[in-house]
Amino acid sequence: MEINSVIAARSSVRSYTAEPVETHAITSCLEAARLAPSACNAQPWHFVVVTAPETRDELARLSLAPGGVMNRFVAEAPVIVAVVAERPNITSQIGAALKNKPFYLIDIGIAAEHFCLQAAELGLGTCMIGWFAERKVRRLLDIPRGRRTVLLITLGRPADGAASRKAPAAERPDAFPPTTLAAPRPKQRKPLATIASSGRYGQPWVESVR
Ligand SMILES: Cc1cc2nc3c(=O)[nH]c(=O)nc-3n(C[C@H](O)[C@H](O)[C@H](O)COP(=O)(O)O)c2cc1C
């Protein structure tokens, strides 16, 4: 899809089929997040990919809001990704302090959206989850003390086909001018194996990018 169509097609998906998501599709979303821009190129993120049913059930329980309705759908998602904030590099820390702006949260938001847009491109659905019991999630996923878990992202095939649905014509700005971007330059980014874990923080994500 064209980028504008992907942007228009992505929406928060809150109903999933039980079908597992292929590892290479998850890798491709992680790779999209890996390439995100960040203040001082700090890349202050780590993604813990959870597919094990018991751990997912626990994450779903920890995401339920009081009343038990909001975030109930998390239990349906075949993949849940915890987005952990890593300590930014010193230049980003100094910049954030001098300008009184939480650059690391901006960085995480951009990376999370890259992840979700790539999922939409693959016909997969996502929903960012900000409401969850952070400390308990940290313990469950062996996330080191002192690191914030900023978001969970649910990932799976939409039960209603929502994410793969084409955006209505009115939402498709097909009249964008032709791009004048130069050919992509190689990006200085941390390797995927160091920014993504499988199941628990620190268990490297080993799938190579295709
Ligand atoms: C930081 C953040 C936290 C969010 N937390 C939740 C959440 O806990 N539960 C939920 O159902 N949706 C959550 N959402 C999804 C928003 O409700 C959703 O993006 C918004 O209503 C716009 O809808 P759309 O994503 O379909 O365009 C969150 C989104 C963001 C960006």
Question: Does 25 reside within a domain?
Answer: yes
Q: Is the pLDDT of residue 201 over 70?
A: yes
For residue 205, give the nearest of 6, 86, 31, 66 by alpha carbon. Answer: 31
Question: Does 176 reside within a domain?
Answer: no
CATH of the domain at 159: 3.40.109.10
Contacts of 135 by beta carbon, 8 Å cutoff, 6+ apart = none
Q: How far is the CA of 126 from the centre of ligand 1 (A)?
A: 10
Distance CA 146, CA 48 (A): 16
Looking at the 3D structure of the chain, how many domains does it have?
1
Question: Does 182 reside within a domain?
Answer: no
Q: Is the pLDDT of residue 180 over 90?
A: no
Return the structure tokens found at 112.
Answer: 């999370």
Question: Does 180 reside within a domain?
Answer: no
Q: What percent of the chain has pLDDT over 90?
A: 81
The closest residue, in CA terms, to atom 21 on ligand 1 is 12
- Section 72-83 average pLDDT: 98
155 lines ligand 1 (CB under 6 A): no
Helices and strands (H, E) in the chain, number of each type: 7, 5
State which residues form the domain around 34: 3-169+188-198
Question: Does 207 reside within a domain?
Answer: no
Question: Does 179 reside within a domain?
Answer: no
pTM, two decimal places: 0.92
Q: Is 34 helix (H, G, I), strand (E, B) or coil?
A: helix
12 lines ligand 1 (CB under 6 A): yes
Which ranges of 79-124 does DSSP label H, i.e. alpha helix? 90-99, 103-121
Question: Does 61 reside within a domain?
Answer: yes
Question: Does 65 reside within a domain?
Answer: yes
**What strands, in cross-sheet order, belong to the sheet with 149-156?**
125-129, 149-156, 79-85, 45-50, 196-198
Distance CA 4, CA 172 (A): 7
Higher pLDDT, 169 or 87: 87
**pLDDT digit string (tens) for 10-54?**
999 999 999 999 999 999 999 999 999 999 999 999 999 999 999
Q: Which residue has the tokens 């702006």?
A: 101
130 lines ligand 1 (CB under 6 A): yes
**pLDDT digit string (tens) for 119-176?**
999 999 999 999 999 999 999 999 999 999 999 999 999 997 655 454 455 454 554 5
Q: Which pLDDT value is given to residue 209?
A: 47
**Phi, psi at 82, each rounded to 5°:** -90, 130
Q: Which pLDDT value is given to residue 109?
A: 98
Distance CA 5, CA 49 (A): 27
Could you identify the atom of ligand 1 that is nearest to the CA of residue 63?
8
